[in-house]
Amino acid sequence: MAEVDYYELLEVERTADDKTIKSSYRRIAMQCHPDKNPGCADSEAKFKAVSVAYDVLKDPQKRAAYDRYGHAAFQNGGGGAGQGQGFEGFSDIFENIFGEFMGGGGGRGGGRTSALRGADLRYDLEISLDDAFHGHTEQIRVDVAAVCDLCHGSGAAEGTAARTCGTCNGHGKVRAQQGFFVVERTCPTCHGRGQTISSPCTECHGEGRVEKTKTLELKIPRGVDEGTRIRMTGEGEAGTRGGPAGDLYVFIHVTRHDLFQRDGTTLFAHAPISITTAALGGTITVPGLDGTAHELRIPPGIQTGKQIRQRGAGMPVLNGRGQGDMVVQIDVETPTKLTPRQKELLEEFRTTETGEESPQASGFFSFLKDKLAGG
């Protein structure tokens, strides 16, 4: 089963502070709490998942471990986040984060070098509103530091291997006594790697990684919105010394549409209608993003600014079921080019007006007349 990013579960950025994380957790937990959704297995599962995510991100040490190693940080020793993670598993994690020397013995399992996780990458992708509505598969090209195919990430030439650094015994750091103090610094021989390579790989020059352009297939789900973040696990930079690869985060940007504006799952549009349609009523047809021609009924006497709602013709709910609505705002257009006959008919209509046809206009000018008369 795919593991969901804890930051995505809590709907916060990776840079979010503790207050933001706590506030978002409370909001989501309240929405999906089993007591509010009795008998809903999906809500119960989500409630448990966000609780586990919050248990990790609210703790500075657990969060640091998760930011660096992802879910793998809590898989040592078989324990999971929020499930009584043992000290030994966390000790391994924090040893890699804060340095491998623990006490005078050079740390548990002395001589061991830590593998480093590759960096996460960001990719910004522009899609149309139609693509956001239907969802599709997009091919993206990403420049990334990938594992060298020739040396398989070891950095050593074929037939050779990296050796434990003799200066630091594989720790990557050396200590020096200065009076009562012990000063620790990066090993000058291996530059913190803990290993030396006598015969570097000719392809990557001992780095174990090379710059490559990867073509990836990204599945864009229906209903994505501006700023939606899609995580591609393991598609970031390759790790060093056998470390896991980072992740690629694709941020969605939706381009402007000619007809519709979007607010969540609601689509808004403006529809100009003639003055006769506004007065007598009728129907108009608005093409939806789903390819359906939606016929909207115009009631007689409709005014500019009136909105007509078409249920279920909006955007799909992301990772859910159903669709939002389409809301069409009516703009009554006054004719600007009239034939002589049309002018004649309008003049005839004007001679028959009593004021009751346009009560708002009649009332407004009566009000002005009273004011001017000092009433």
pLDDT in tens, 35-77: 788 888 888 888 888 899 998 999 888 888 888 878 777 764 4
Separation of alpha carbons 147 and 5, rounded Å: 24
Residues carrying CATH 2.60.260.20, the chain: 111-152+205-256, 261-372
Kindly provide the residue ranges of all beta strands, DSSP E only, lying in the chain, ordered along the sequence: 121-127, 136-147, 163-164, 173-178, 181-186, 195-196, 209-220, 229-232, 248-254, 261-263, 266-274, 282-287, 293-298, 307-310, 326-333
> Is the separation of the CB atoms in 298 and 358 below 8 Å?
no
- Residue 201 annotated as part of some ligand binding site: yes
Q: What percent of the chain has pLDDT over 70?
A: 83
Token pair of 143 as six digits = 């420049």
Q: What contacts 150, CB < 8 A, 6 or more positions away? A: 158, 201, 202, 203, 204
Separation of alpha carbons 170 and 114, rounded Å: 9
Q: For residue 100, is pLDDT > 50?
A: no
Separation of alpha carbons 33 and 22, rounded Å: 16
Q: What is the pTM of this model?
A: 0.58
- Residue 32 annotated as part of some ligand binding site: no
> Which of 3.40.47.10, 1.20.120.1460, 2.60.260.20, 1.10.760.10 is the CATH number of 111-152+205-256?
2.60.260.20
pLDDT confidence of 126, banded at 50, 70, 90?
very high
pLDDT confidence of 278, banded at 50, 70, 90?
very high
Identify the architecture of domain 261-372 in CATH: Sandwich (2.60)
- Residue 168 annotated as part of some ligand binding site: yes
Output DSSP code: residue 240: B
- List residues bridging with 184 in a β-sheet: 175
Separation of alpha carbons 52 and 28, rounded Å: 13
pLDDT confidence of 368, banded at 50, 70, 90?
low
- Residue 40 annotated as part of some ligand binding site: no
Separation of alpha carbons 185 and 286, rounded Å: 70
